[in-house]
Every structure is written in structure tokens, then in C-alpha cells.
Chains A and B, each alone.
Chain A
Amino acid sequence: MADSDIALHPPELKHHFDDAPQQLEASTLGMWAFLATEVLFFGGMFCAYTIYRHAYHDAFESTSRFMNVTIGGINTGVLICSSLTMALAVRAAQLGQKKALIWLLIATLTLGGVFLALKADEYHEKYVEHHIPGPGFQYEEPRFAQQAQILFFLYFAMTGLHAAHMIVGAGLLITLIVMASRNRFSSRWYTPVDMIGLYWHFVDIVWIFLFPLLYLIGHTK
């Protein structure tokens, strides 16, 4: 296939687009719009959290000492590093460096896995402490029992939804790794890496909000 043919009709250009820049603009705007919907999705729960935290201020202070700031802190560091490896992966794709791209994607995936493993450990800790909302819930200070259950429910709902998004992100990263090893990306076209990078950064940012709100503010020992 002559180079001029490729310039006229690059293989990744879908037929309904006029040209590659238009396709890239559509993909990018689409991902940003989708992330806006995710902000609203998480926003509903942040709203409920804010209301109950304000209403049950004392109960919140009581529950905050059961938040494992150590694991939360390590996880924050892990996610920030994973965003770094993801950004470097996008750069590697930009420069057409296939090996670097694959290794950096694997690094991002691994760090994501570390986050999820630590989260699972944290959830297990909550299970042992009988802090999982539902029939088995028990709380150390009876006067806050009802309110604590609501607050723990919001904790699990928010971090659980975040973890679900991370699991989806992990699946997307695996897809990218497979695609990269099959030579689908080049410096001319690497849009999926770019887009999933945006998604990964968003999931990271949600955690950056979750961590201070759930773990740090009002924390007492």
C-alpha cells in the first residue's frame, strides 16, 4: 500500500468521519463528556455524604477513628504513581515506543491491582470489626449505632463504586496491553491509550476527593 494511500485513507479512520483530526476531536470530546456524567454520578453520593456528615457530626467523629488512614494513605500514593505511569504510557505511545508503552501499561495495571488488594484487605478489616452495614452490623458506641450504620453505608457505597470503576479500568488496561502487543498503535494513531488515560486519571481524581473527605477530615485517634 503506497504511503499516499495511507495518507488519504488511514486504516484507523472510520468511514463516517471526514478525516483523522475530526475523529480524534470527536473521541476526545466524547470522553470528556462521559467523564462529566461520571462527576454527576458520584456527585449524588457526595451530596448525601455531606448532608449526613453535617447532621450527624458527633457520630462522624466517632466513626472516623475506624478509618484506616495508613492503608488509605498508601493507596493514595499508589494511585498517584499509577497516574504517572499512565501519563508516561501515553507519552510512549505518542513517540511510537511499543515496548515502553507495554511495560508502562503493565506497571499501571499492577499498581491498580495493588490498590484493589489493599482495599480488599481494608474491607476485610471492616468485616472483622462488624462494620459492614446490614444484618451483621455492630458498633462500639451504642448511642451512635444507627447513625454510624448510615455513615459506613456511605463509605462502602462511595469507595465500592470507586473500586468498581477501577476494576473496569483494569479491564480496559488489559485490552490496551493486548492491542499494543499486536502492533495496533503507532505515533500516528494511539487514541484508545489517550482516552483510557483520561478515564484512569479521572478515577484517580475521584479518590483524591474521597480520601480526605472519608479518612482525613475530623480524624481522631
Chain B
Amino acid sequence: MSTTLPHPDLDVRTNYLNADYGWKSWLFTTDHKRIALLYLFSITAFFFVGGAFAVMMRLNLLSPNGIFAHDTYNKLFTMHGVVMVFFFLVPSIPATLGNFLIPPMIGARDLAFPRINLLSWYIYIVGGVMALAAIVRGGVDTGWTFYAPFSSTYSNTHVILAAMGVFVAGFSSILTGLNFIITIHTMRCPGMYWSRLPLFVWGHYATALIQVLATPVLAITVFLLCLERVLHTGIFDPSLGGDPVLFQHLFWFYSHPAVYIMILPGMAVISELVACFSRKAIFGYGFVAFSSVAIAVLGFLVWGHHLFVAGQSMYASMVFSFISFLVAVPSAIKVFNWTATMYQGSISYDTPMLYAFGFIGLFTIGGLTGLFLATMAIDVHVTDTYFVIAHFHYVMVGGMVMAYLGGIHFWFPKITGRLYPEAWAKFAALVIFVGFNLTFFPQFILGYLGMPRRYATYADEFHTLNVMSTAGASILGIGYLIPMIYLAWAWRFGPISPQNPWHAKGLEWEQSPTPPPTFNFIEPPVVTEAAYNYSGEEAEIG
């Protein structure tokens, strides 16, 4: 193997932010860090679009008779789901933090395919514009799940435009996943064995496997749906000989693994945060790494738990229920290992760690309520009610979004070269935690009481809990606005950050400048120790 050469025009005072100026240097960049920022800004914009719909939904649910016309409300929850799932959560951590950090974490100068990385962002933008066009032209009202035959034959809204926007965005996800898999396989620096990879990288590797294998099935499903809407050949329409439940099987074959795309990167971030702020190696490193892959694999085998009441065979349902319990085990293993990491550690309460605490607590609740849904007899009662809504918001918002915010704060100095104001950050984290629980905990109760989901109006006895939930949502909304303000301020005016403000282990902190130069390293890195070697142990030979 030949030696690596330092890049001829590397200059220690230049970093990736000031290496070049002008809109062309950003829109035609191939630097993974700049592409990560392009994603960061577009994803944040979509978060607020999806959030605006959520605000309107909760306003409507303040009173049992609602304030919006039913068609309007139906469009609101559909667009909230479509935007949040496909244009915020699926790309979120991988396309921002993953893009930025995977190369430096493994000692590489960039991802394997930098131009494909840029292409994936453009594809995401095209898909996003199509979805926005569908919104602006009047919206879609099928629910983000697009069930047939309503979506193929009965809905009068812009189904094709929205569905094709999702179709296009899916290719962005596939390309990102491909890039990560190849990079992690082929571009690790000398000494960076698989067993020394940060768990952040393991988590993104598992996520990438799902992105690459599941998303094409969504693509073909959505494609068939759009053809059906135009041609009415009957593939999903029973009055023409088709099977509407086939759509559900094809849809959930992607969409269940997709929810693991929407949690594994969050878990990947949490491993980094817990290790750094306990100043201790993650307990059970091998088990945590293996659990990520196990979740990815098992996640492909459980889609039928969305069809327990849909007319699926009871025996098939039984198999899906069993495997759904099985997939809970690796998730539990991770929670236990993070907790054990804290034992006899040195815990500090910096904001990223507060978000990690929040994640561990809220993901535990969200994951446990998943067991309720895996239990067939309980699922019959609570499926399609607010219980399910509470469950997935606990894991996706209480879990993933908290991890995202924790990661943004942790790596903020690395990305911007500045420090954020810690007091404001702690305050915002607290507001978000309180607001989140007040919003979504009442929804578990509402669900078991029988309030169905996707209801613009509801029975009077659900009134009080809905008011509580809306109150929580307003607090949560304020909580999300606060970091937007101080992070934007700190990027411009915050104090300059030292090289490693958290004294964290990891190539991105120890051997890459803050902020990094375009090719990440001044000297090509060589790894001689295991990950998270906070206690300074000697590495085993070989």
C-alpha cells in the first residue's frame, strides 16, 4: 500500500468555511462538510414547515368541533406527516451530522463519492420543491400513508405531485446510504479497524443498509400508485379486481424499516455523547455495535404489525408480533449499556448530555409503548388511535429530535469554530423536555380511551386531555425556536472555540482542526487505540 500524500495547497489557517467564497463555491461544492451545511439549512426549513402544520392541527384540536373545515384538517395532518417523515426525519442526522463527521471520524479526507453526495442534495431539493408545490397548489389529504383505494381512486387532491416528490427524495436517501456504506468499507485510515470505529459510524452504517435496501421498495410502490391513479387498471382497486391490502404490504415493507432509519442515527449520536460526558468508554461496545445491525436486519421482518386489524392472516400476524418483540431486545440492550457507561464515570451536565438524558428517558417510554402495540390483543384496541401517535412521537421527537439537538450542540464548535451560550441552551433543553411531555403524554391516555387518529372533531369527553396537549405543544414550539435564535447568534458572534472544548476522544476532535480544513487533516491520521479510550489504556496488539 502506498503512503498517503498531504494535499499540496493545505494551509493551517484556512478552514472549509473560508477556503472559498461565493454562491458557486457552495452550490457546486464537493466538500462533504459544505454539503452537510446545505442539508442543515434545507432540513431546518422543512422542520418549520412541518411544525407550522402541527401548530395548526393542535389549534384545531383545542375544541371538540374544531375550527378548520374537515378537508383542511385532513390536508394538515397529511402534509405534517409527509414533510416531517420524508423531508426532515429521514435525512436529518445522516445528511447533516453523518455527512460532516463520518470522514473525519474514520480518518478520511472525504466520502467515497463526493459528487454523488452533492447530487443527493440536489435530488432532495427537487423532491422538496415538488412536495411544496403540492402544498401550495392545495395540498394532499390521503394521510402520509397514502392507503388505496382512497388515494388511487377517491381523493381529489394533488396525490401524484406529493407522491412523486417522495419518490424523488427517496433517491437522495439511497445515494447517501450508498456513499456511507462504501466510505466505511474502503476509506478507513490505517489502524481504524471495524472494532475501533466510533459507535456513531456503526449506527450510520446500519442506517445506510436500511436506506439502500428498503427505499427502492417505497419508490416502486409510490410509482405503481401514481400509475394506478392515472390509468385505473385496478392493481389496488377491488372494484376492478385489485387488492388494497397489497398496497399496505408494499408500503409498510419500506416504511417500517424507515422508522429505524429515523432512530438509529439518534442512537448513534447518543453513544458519542454518553461516552464523552461520562468520560468513559461505552460499556459493551461490541453489543451496542451489533445491536445496531441487528435492529436493521430484524426491522425488515416486522412490517405486518401494521396490518393486525387489516384482514391479514392470524398466523402471519402471530409471526410478525413475535419478531416485533425480538427487535425490542437490541434497543433495550443499548439503553442498558448507556446507563451502565455512566456507572463510575465522571458525569458533566453540559447541554448535549442533558439531551442524552432526555433521549434515554423518552426513548425508553416510546420503546416500551411499542411493546403494547406488538401485543396483538392490545393493538386491536389502540391501533389507529392517539396511542400510536403518542408512541411514535415519543421515539421520533423525544428520541431522534432530542438526539439531533444534542448532536448539533456537541459538534457546534467543530462545525462553526465557535461556542454557543450554555445557559440559554440548558434553558431551551428544559423547555423542550417539559413541552414535549405535556404534549404527548396525554395522548397515550386519549388513545386507550378510544380517540381515533386523523379526527378533525372528537367526542366531548376527550376535551380536557386535548387542551393539555395543545398547551404542551405551544411550549414545545417556543422551545424549538429558542435554539434557532441563539445558535444563529453564536455562529456569528459567539466566542471562538478551542480545538477540543469537550476534551473528547475521537479523530474528529483530536486530529482534525476546529473547524476542519477542506480535506479534514493536516497530517494523515493513524489510529493506535480503541474508541473512547478516556482512561488511556494501551491497545492490544493486532
Q: Determine whether A51 belongs to the interface, using a CB cutoff of 8 Å to chain B.
A: yes
Q: How far is the CB of B465 from chain A (nearest CB, A)?
A: 40
Q: Which residues of B are found within 8 Å of A43, using beta-carbon distances?
A: 216-217, 220
Query: How long is the Cα–Cα vector from A52 to B240 in the complex, in angstroms?
Result: 13
Q: B-side binding surface: helix, strand, loop or mixed?
A: helix
Given A15-B7, A41-B217, A29:B233 Cβ within 8 A: no
Query: How long is the Cα–Cα vector from A134 to B235 in the complex, in angstroms?
Result: 12
Using a CB-CB cutoff of 8 Å, which residues 96-121 of chain B contact chain A?
A: 108-114
Query: How long is the Cα–Cα vector from A36 to B112 in the complex, in angstroms?
Result: 18
> Across the interface, do A37 and B224 meet the contact criterion of CB distance under 8 Å?
no
> Across the interface, do B186 and A29 meet the contact criterion of CB distance under 8 Å?
yes
Q: Which residues of A are found within 8 Å of B232, using beta-carbon distances?
A: 134
Q: Determine whether B250 belongs to the interface, using a CB cutoff of 8 Å to chain A.
A: yes
Q: Determine whether B5 belongs to the interface, using a CB cutoff of 8 Å to chain A.
A: yes
Q: Which residues of A are found within 8 Å of B219, using beta-carbon distances?
A: 41
> Across the interface, do B519 and A16 meet the contact criterion of CB distance under 8 Å?
yes
Q: Which residues of B are found within 8 Å of A47, using beta-carbon distances?
A: 250
Given A40-B217, A44-B216, A45-B220, A150:B186 Cβ within 8 A: no
Q: Determine whether A187 belongs to the interface, using a CB cutoff of 8 Å to chain B.
A: no
Q: Which residues of A are found within 8 Å of B5, using beta-carbon distances?
A: 8-9
> Across the interface, do A40 and B186 meet the contact criterion of CB distance under 8 Å?
no
Q: Which residues of B are found within 8 Å of A153, using beta-carbon distances?
A: 227, 231, 233-235
Contact stretch, chosen from B177-185, B352-360, B385-393, B504-512: B177-185
Q: Which residues of B are found within 8 Å of A52, using beta-carbon distances?
A: 235
Q: Determine whether B484 belongs to the interface, using a CB cutoff of 8 Å to chain A.
A: no
Q: Which residues of A are found within 8 Å of B213, using beta-carbon distances?
A: 36-37, 40
Q: How far is the CB of A60 from chain B (nearest CB, A)?
A: 12
- Identity of the chain A residue whose Cβ is nearest the Cβ of B230 in the assembled complex: A134
Q: Determine whether A58 belongs to the interface, using a CB cutoff of 8 Å to chain B.
A: no
> Across the interface, do A146 and B214 meet the contact criterion of CB distance under 8 Å?
no
> Across the interface, do B240 and A150 meet the contact criterion of CB distance under 8 Å?
yes
Interface residue range, chain A: 35 or more
Using a CB-CB cutoff of 8 Å, which residues 65-100 of chain A contact chain B?
A: none
Q: Which residues of B are found within 8 Å of A147, using beta-carbon distances?
A: 241
Query: How long is the Cα–Cα vector from A40 to B241 in the complex, in angstroms?
Result: 26
- Identity of the chain B residue whose Cβ is nearest the Cβ of A9 in the assembled complex: B5
> Across the interface, do A51 and B519 meet the contact criterion of CB distance under 8 Å?
no
Q: Determine whether B243 belongs to the interface, using a CB cutoff of 8 Å to chain A.
A: yes
Q: Determine whether B242 belongs to the interface, using a CB cutoff of 8 Å to chain A.
A: yes
Q: Determine whether B535 belongs to the interface, using a CB cutoff of 8 Å to chain A.
A: no
Beyond A37-B215, A150-B242: 19 further Cβ-contacts under 8 Å? A16-B111, A22-B187, A29-B182, A33-B178, A33-B212, A34-B178, A37-B178, A37-B213, A37-B216, A40-B213, A41-B219, A44-B250, A45-B220, A134-B233, A146-B240, A146-B241, A147-B241, A154-B235, A157-B227
Measured CB to CB, the residues of B under 8 A from A are: 1-2, 4-5, 7, 108-114, 174, 178, 181-183, 185-187, 212-217, 219-221, 224, 227, 231-235, 240-243, 246, 250, 253, 519
Q: What are 22 inter-chain pairs, A to B, with CB distance below 8 A? A: A16-B108, A16-B109, A16-B110, A19-B2, A25-B185, A26-B112, A26-B183, A34-B178, A37-B212, A38-B216, A40-B214, A43-B220, A44-B220, A44-B250, A44-B253, A47-B250, A48-B224, A51-B243, A52-B235, A134-B231, A134-B233, A137-B233
